[in-house]
């Protein structure tokens, strides 16, 4: 009697767990999308930061100062870091 009851409980837990897993799978897709897009957004930010740095360099003409490049390079590195932090699982 107890063995049969234990089997029934185990089957019910398996059924409920299976239903919950199916319900959660829609959220897994969103996590997959975010994980795939994050590095691309980081790369886009890197390119935009480098464009900004070179535009500032061009505007400075012959008065080139390393601090002019620092802002664009900082932006490029920051967006790369954030993209990788999201994409790389902990």
What percentage of the chain reaches a pLDDT higher than 70? Answer: 99
With bands split at pLDDT 50, 70 and 90, how would you rate the model's confidence at 67?
confident
The stretches of 61-90 forming alpha helices (DSSP H) are 66-87
Rg (CA), the chain: 26
Ranges of each domain in the chain: 2-87
pLDDT by residue (tens digit) across 24-64?
888 888 888 888 888 888 889 889 888 988 888 888 887 87
82 vs 74: CA distance, rounded Å: 12
Question: What is the b/e burial string over 44-73, where b = at least 16 CB atoms within 10 angstroms of the residue's CB?
Answer: ebbeebeebbeebeeeeeeeeeeebbeebe
Taking residues 63-68, what's their average pLDDT? 81
């Amino acid at each position: 009697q107890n063995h049969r009851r234990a089997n029934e409980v185990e089957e019910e837990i398996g059924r409920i767990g299976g239903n919950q897993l199916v319900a959660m799978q829609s959220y897994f897709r969103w996590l997959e999308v975010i994980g795939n897009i994050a590095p691309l957004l980081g790369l886009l930010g890197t390119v935009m930061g480098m464009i900004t740095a070179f535009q500032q360099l061009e505007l400075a003409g012959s008065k080139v100062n390393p601090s002019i490049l620092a802002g664009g390079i900082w932006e490029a590195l920051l967006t790369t870091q954030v993209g990788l932090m999201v994409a790389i699982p902990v």
